[in-house]
Structures are given as C-alpha cells and as structure tokens.
Structure 1
C-alpha cells in the first residue's frame, strides 16, 4: 500500500479515523504546525468566554482589572503548546504519554480516569450552553414550541458533537479553519456593538485591598480553567512529522487559544457593564440590531459545538485507554452518552445554573493545574524525546512499569499538589481552610501547578530520555 493510500485509510476527511491510542507510524505523519492554529482557534471561538467575561465583572472587578486578569490567565496557553510538542515526538495521544509520568497502572487513575472525568465535565458545559443558545435561536426565528423542547434540542446538540468527534482528526483539521473564520467574524461584529454600548464610566464596588486581591486571584482561576482543561493537546499534534519545530508547535497552539479567548472574554467584560450577563444569549438583544441577534446566536451554537468536538475526541481517547479493545468510535459514543445525561442534570436538576457552573470550574482547576504541571515537567526532563512504541507496552516488562506499575514521583506530586490546591480553593459553596486563613484568596491555580512541578522534578531527577529517538528540532 502506498503512503498516500495508507494516510487516506487511517486519517481522511469524511471518514471515521482508524487510529486511536496506537502509535502513528512515520509514513502516516502529515501536516505542518501552523495547522494547529486553526484547530485551536475554532475550538476557542467560544460562548463560554463571553460568560467568563461577564462573570469577572459580576464578581466585582473593574473593567481594567478584568482585562488584566484575562490576559494573565490566558498565558497558560503556552503550557498547552508545550504539552503539544510531545505528540509528534511519540506519535501517540496524551493519555499514552502520561504513562511516562504515572506508570502503566498509575496512569489508569491519574491519566485515563481523571481525563475522562475532566473531559466529561467540560463536554457537559459545552452541550449545556449550545442547547440554551439553540433554544433561544429557534424561538427567535419563530418556533415558539422550542421553549418547551429543551430535551429534544439537548439530544440533537449532543448527537452532532458525538458524530463529528467520531469522524476524527482529519475532518476536525479540515473544517476548523473555516469555522474559526466565520464564527470569529460574528464575534468581531458583536465586539464592535459591545464597545459602542459599553458603559465606560462603570465603577466596580468599593472593596478593601485584601478583598480585591482575593477577587483578582479568583478571576485568574476562572480564566485559567480554559487552557488548563487542555492537557490533552498532543492528541491534535500527534500526526505531525517527528521533525516538526517545537517552537512552531508551541506558538501556533498558544496563539490559537489566546487570540479568541482574550478577545471574546473582553467582549463579555464590555457587555457586563451595560446588560444582565446571567443569561447573555438573551440579553445580547439589547445591544445588537434585530437582524444580528439570530446570527450571533447561531455563531454561539457553532462555536460551542466546535469546542465540544475536540473535547469529546480527546475524551474518547482517554476512555479507550481504560478499555483498549474498544474501538475509538465506540469510546467516543459512550462518553458522549454520559455527557448527555449529566448535561440534562445541569440544565434541569441543578439548583442554580451559574452558581453551580462557577463552583465546578473553580474546583476543577485544583486538579487540572497539577496534572498539566507534572506532564510539562516530564517533557522537560526527557528533553522532549518519547518512544511511542515503548509507551504503548503495558506489560510488566514495560520500561514504564516502574514499581508495580506506578511511578511514585508522578503519583506523589499529583496527590500532594491537588490536596493543597483543594485546601486553597474559594468557591461559592466551598472555601478551603488555607484560603480562609488568607482572607479568601484562591491560590489554587498558582500554587497547585508550581508545587506539582517542584515535587515531580525533585523525585524524578533520575529520569532520562525515553528512547534514543531525537527530540523535535527547530525547523520549519
């Protein structure tokens, strides 16, 4: 079989991707790092960031404060780019690479199971927002019955996300640039209306310095939850040739996340000075002309679905690592079904939607930060070199079996750092004792990752390159 034919079979647009958690052979590698910009930009032209922007102001931050917090929190996207460099080096998804961090058995807990839990959580957020926006759009277009058809709309949105995720990498890569351009243009127009309607004299509530610092940290945690949720970035870079530039991978990935995230959050901040942001998909009507309201609602739906396609794609790989004999498409379908059920609960069973949302986002950072940190530290220790074949060996003779299948350094770093981070969390429903001692300051998104990386680097100093394969080079 020719290289071209083999690539067509395993990763072709409009066909179900044949590969799952197995190694991508060199003769099936294709593409350039710049393609990562389109993938990440499409996934981040996202309604959720509009909500985040509104939430920062609703918490009590001023416009300038909120913008600064937004910029700082999004710097975590460079971490996402750094993790993405491990994809071309190994030819495997993140959940397989994490065996180097936690060991074959330890990874089933800290990589696979935790990854599924995080993935389902963010899939639930996406499905929920897409459902609400679709419902508002259909009512606006004249189908009043849509107001009572929430469950049917929820099922439809979930089905679209799951089907596109099943098609896989090539299809996602092909459609992403077009989605990012079209949906991004709609948000640019919304931004223009938001700037014109914003109350630039808006003054944040008077607070003491201690309370204000606590709000800055809380806002930083909320914004950081976006990039911190993408520890699986190697899933979308693993088809790139092993010689791909690490610098280019980091840069294009980070830009794809930062540009739309910052701009859309800024729009949300501006809107929050003049409209009620508890239900922005409806309140936006007050600042845009009638013809544009359905357009932006449609953009919200498409952008949220695009993000969820990536989320469920990665989630399927995490799930497949728990049951390797299950094909990728089936794993995607199963986690999609779980997300559907939990989305129904968040929409129709949770006592307060926004309060529950904020609580879960803030708490999730306590787990996601340490996970990204130990992963990043391991890449640094190995100088970016990974042996995908060795990582795929799950037998007791595996190089990554360590001690009884566990890598003590990774497990200890995760448990200790996550525990400390949880004790530092400040949410609407739970305030950690350390946060309480610090006057409500939430340091979980800063201390958690730093502590995890420090512990891992200290305990795993003997780690050497996983294989004689060369690290990625800085070539175009």
Structure 2
C-alpha cells in the first residue's frame, strides 16, 4: 500500500478513510493519492460523465449565436465540428489521472513547480471555475424564473435569489458526494437529458429553414473575422475543461490511454455537436437573441416545464463537475480545508457571482464575452499540460508530486518551473494581442479589423515555447519510479 502523503490541504488529505469511493457515500478522499487497491472502473464510464454536462441548453444558445453573427448554415456547422474537436485535448490530458492517481491541480506541479502551480491553479482552477459556475447557474436561473412567471409568481429579487440558491444547493450536493456518485448518477442523467433534448430538437427541425442564407452575406476580411469569432466561441468550452484528470484518477493505473482519451472526448463531442447544430438550425426561423422564449415558442405548453427542468438538471450536472474540481483545486493551493468544506466555499462564491450577473448583466452578452476572452488563459494552460504529458510520456509519480519541500523534484528554482510559467505567460500574452471581443480588442486583432486569432496563436505558441524551454532549462527529469510508470 502506498503511504498517504502529508500535505497542507487538510485532515481528509492526510488521513483518508479507505474504500469509500462508492455511490451514495460522501467521497472521503481529497487530492491525496488513490492507492492501487482502491482503483476501479473502466474508461467507458467516462462517456456518461462527460455526456451529461454537455447535453446542454448553452449548446442551443451558442448555435443560435453563430447564425446571429452572420454565418450561413454550412459555415455554422463547420465551425461547430472543428471547434468541438478540442474535446480530444480534454480527453488526452485525462490520461494523467490514472498515471499519477491524484488530481490535475496536483499533477500540474510538474509544469509550474510547487510554488508557481499555486498561482496558476488559483486562476484557472478556482477563479475561472467560479465564473463558469456563475455563467451556468445564470442560464438555469433565467429558465427557472421564466417558468415561475408562467406559474404566476411575482417577479422579485427574493424570487431570483431563491431560484439561484436551490439550483446552487443541488449542484454543491452532487460535488460533495463526489466521484462515485457522479459516475453512477450521470449515466441516468445522460439518458433522461438526451430524451428531452432530442424531443426538443425534433420540434425545432419542424421549424427550420433549410435554404437559409444570411440577409447580407459576409465577404472579404469581415467574413473571416466572423468565422474566427464563431470558432473561438465554440472552442472555448472544451478548452475550459482542464479537470478531466480529476474524473479519471480512480481508474486502474494501466487503463488504456487511448480508451481514456476517446471515451472522454466522445462523451462531450457528440452531444455538443448535435445540440449546438440544433441551435443554429433554430436560428434560421426563430429569434435566438432571446433563446428561451424562442425555443419555448415551438413547444406545446405541457413540454415547457419538462424543458426547464432539463435545463436545471443539466446545469447541476455541468456545474457538479466544476464545483467538484474547484474544491480539489482549493486544497492543492494550500487552503487547509477538508474537500467538503472547500466545495461549500466555492459554492458560496459562485452563488454570489451568479446573483450579481443575473441582476446586472445581459445573459447573452455575458456568454459571448466570456467564451471569447477566457481562451486567452485556458488555451495556453491546456496546451502546456498536454505537451508535458508528451514530453514525460505520461510518467507521473503521485507521491513525488505531493512532496512540497525544497528537496522535491518539482521545486525547480525557487519553487517555480520557469519553462511552464514563461510558456503559459508567453502564450497568454500573444493570445491577448490577437484576441477580440465586445470588451477587448488586442492591437494585432484591431489592426486586422477585429480578427480573433487568440486560440491558434495561444495554443501553438505556448506548446512550442514549453517544448523548447523545458529542454533548454533541463526540467524534464524522470518523475516516476519504474513501479509507477505507465507502459
């Protein structure tokens, strides 16, 4: 049996109860290593874990947005497929979970160093995750409040707060119960949500204008600008999920990396493509600037509460993964809280952000702006992680990764792996210069009439930099013993 490493993350990390990863029981482990004796499951279970969050109302919203910004149906469908191919990257980094037996927010110490990793995880695994919690809860709350209005409930700030708190509470409950409950529950949710959203899709298809063309077809550079913007919006979703190792870390150590990659990627890719495409088809005849009203207009009255319930359930599934990983991220940066309490703290922060967003910002504007800008950070971080897996051949020793002393192989220089930090900062800086949204236009993008090249520049630049700097700095020493290396 592996020793349980001491870490500053709290008592549940230092001395976990064994054999507690069972559905219906609160998961006892935090970021500590999962010993081989407790590994279980198959890669196939990852399909439903990633499908349930992506049978999503936001997919309809994004699909409708592509048509609203001026793309044709053919262009919208092409952007949807190509942007969602980034789910392969989400699936690929999941292979590090079983190799190390710990969370992605701990594994990334190999890329950034013991100290440097805390800053990166605080931003990507905590702050940005809290923003996504707020975004998804806002979407579900808008739908829930619409149903409340149909039922005759008076519009008020108290009702807004009550709806948000109910949805947030259900989400946090899922995150607290943790991994085994998520795996079991999301299998059922995938089936139920798919049935509801397929039924809605059939209704939408009956109102689709298959010969749709934009009223003013785009040409020249302006056409390319809109294509790039649509691609960025779609690709931002898979690039935001750097938590896939958290959901695979209980798998047996020698589970096929190819199987982990494909089951994870397919679980997210298939529903994302299908329902985002349906959103684009809906926009050919419906006004998707108000997506909830537009979709409800093609439903029979009895189906509206079914649809709204599905939106809320999907949000709970989506944010359940985010909140679960955010709790682990909080532990990995040194916050001395048990995982359950860390999840509650994240939930309170996300709920506060949701209430602010719901009362202050226009929902559709917030969705587009966040999806266009968040890739400035998430793209380089995901690429550096994936590049490290390639360079180290997915050999990670969870015990060594939990060693935060100055003698740790991940202390590097002053606790910082400058190869990872400089590659991420360089990629993010380049992406910022090339980014464009309603709130920001980088100088490179502005010089090209708003062409958004944040993803290709950030992803390719950070990957190339990390590859070169890792070799130049000599930061790729072996990080696993022969008994823990994945073959």
Instruction: Tell me the TM-score normalized by structure 1.
Output: 0.95
The DSSP-based 3-state class of the residue aligned with 2:345 is helix
2:237–2:371: 8 Å Cα contact kept in structure 1?
Answer: no
Q: Matches of 2:268 and 2:344 in 1, distance apart?
A: 26
Aligned to 1:244: 255
Aligned to 2:8: none
5+ residue gaps, structure 1: none
Q: 2:65 aligns with which of 52, 55, 59?
A: 55
Whether 1:418 aligns to 2:424 is no
Deviations 1:231-273 (A, max 9, x none): 1110000000001000100000000010110011011101111
Whether 1:323 aligns to 2:314 is no
Aligned to 1:144: 153
Q: Matches of 1:324 and 1:157 in 2, distance apart?
A: 26
Against the structure 1 CA distance between its residues 94 and 447, is the aligned structure 2 distance closer, same or farther, given a 3 Å change threshold? Answer: same
Identify the range of structure 1 (154-163 vs 333-342) with the bigger mean alpha-carbon deviation: 154-163
Deviations 1:167-217 (A, max 9, x none): 110110110011011001111111111111012232112222211111111
Q: 2:369 aligns with which of 359, 362, 365?
A: 359
Q: Matches of 1:168 and 1:249 in 2, distance apart?
A: 20
Whether 1:281 aligns to 2:299 is no
Aligned to 2:41: 31
Equivalent residues, number: 467
Aligned to 2:83: 73
Aligned to 2:177: 167
Q: Matches of 1:312 and 1:374 in 2, distance apart?
A: 23
Q: For 1:141-220, list aligned pairs within 5 A.
A: 142-145=151-154, 149-204=159-214, 205-220=216-231
Q: 2:478 aligns with which of 456, 465, 473?
A: 465
Instruction: Tell me the TM-score normalized by structure 2.
Output: 0.93
Aligned to 1:133: 143
Return the offset for 1:359.
1.4
Q: For 1:243-262, list aligned pairs within 5 A.
A: 243-262=254-273
Whether 1:227 aligns to 2:265 is no
Against the structure 1 CA distance between its residues 143 and 334, is the aligned structure 2 distance closer, same or farther, given a 3 Å change threshold? Answer: same
2:138–2:363: 8 Å Cα contact kept in structure 1?
Answer: no
Identify the range of structure 1 (60-69 vs 193-202) with the bigger mean alpha-carbon deviation: 193-202
Return the offset for 1:373.
0.3
Return the offset for 1:288.
2.0
The DSSP-based 3-state class of the residue aligned with 1:145 is coil
Identify the range of structure 1 (428-437 vs 221-230) with the bigger mean alpha-carbon deviation: 428-437
Aligned to 1:292: 303
Runs of 4+ in 1 over 3 A off after TM superposition: 6-9, 145-148, 469-473
The DSSP-based 3-state class of the residue aligned with 1:197 is coil
The DSSP-based 3-state class of the residue aligned with 2:436 is coil
Q: Matches of 1:109 and 1:324 in 2, distance apart?
A: 13
Q: For 1:363-378, list aligned pairs within 5 A.
A: 363-378=373-388
Q: For 1:66-105, list aligned pairs within 5 A.
A: 66-105=76-115
Identify the range of structure 1 (288-297 vs 33-42) with the bigger mean alpha-carbon deviation: 288-297
Identify the range of structure 1 (357-366 vs 171-180) with the bigger mean alpha-carbon deviation: 357-366
Identify the range of structure 1 (142-151 vs 301-310) with the bigger mean alpha-carbon deviation: 142-151
Deviations 1:271-292 (A, max 9, x none): 1111121222222122122222
Q: Matches of 1:360 and 1:38 in 2, distance apart?
A: 26
5+ residue gaps, structure 2: 2-15
The DSSP-based 3-state class of the residue aligned with 1:119 is helix
Q: Matches of 2:263 and 2:154 in 1, distance apart?
A: 43
Aligned to 1:264: 275
Q: Matches of 2:307 and 2:384 in 1, distance apart?
A: 39
Q: For 1:339-354, list aligned pairs within 5 A.
A: 339-350=350-361, 352-354=362-364
Q: Matches of 1:19 and 1:161 in 2, distance apart?
A: 19
Q: For 1:356-435, list aligned pairs within 5 A.
A: 356-435=366-445
Deviations 1:382-437 (A, max 9, x none): 10110000001111111100001000100100111101101111101211111112
Q: 1:21 aligns with which of 12, 28, 31?
A: 31
Return the offset for 1:471.
4.4
Return the offset for 1:439.
2.5
Q: Matches of 1:157 and 1:304 in 2, distance apart?
A: 8
Q: 1:313 aligns with which of 293, 302, 324?
A: 324
